[in-house]
Amino acid sequence: SQTIHQWPATLVQPVGSPLSLECTVEGTSNPNLYWYRQAAGRGLQLLFYSVGIGQISSEVPQNLSASRPQDRQFILSSKKLLLSDSGFYLCAWSVPGRRLSYGYTFGSGTRLTVV
């Protein structure tokens, strides 16, 4: 069966420090991968998605970047964190080769607090 792992679960970082959140998927090949941010009381906002190694699409201009160095690995990064980067970050994957609306499974999330 397929599983998605996301870490760390919580992170407190000072303003101006770098960020690296990692997400990996097991049990499938060439998944579509996504990074979302969820602000308190608001819906999920799609940040990045990837349909293959090295293929990254950005949805909103921001202080973050994403990379996909391996087929089942998706990394969210920042060179210098801002206070506004605080939030709950979710990684998700969907079934490859099918409509993206199916098989949409989320990781357990990372609570990032920038202080």
Q: Which residues contact 33 (CB under 8 A, 6 or more apart)?
A: 23, 25, 49, 50, 68, 74, 91, 92, 93
Of 79 and 108, nearer to another protein (C-beta) is 108
Looking at the DSSP assignment, which residues form a beta bridge with residue 34?
A: 49, 92
Site for another protein in 76-115 (CB under 8 A): 88, 90, 92, 99-102, 104-109, 111
Where does this chain bind another protein (CB under 8 A)?
6, 9, 32, 34, 41-44, 46, 49, 51, 57, 59, 88, 90, 92, 99-102, 104-109, 111
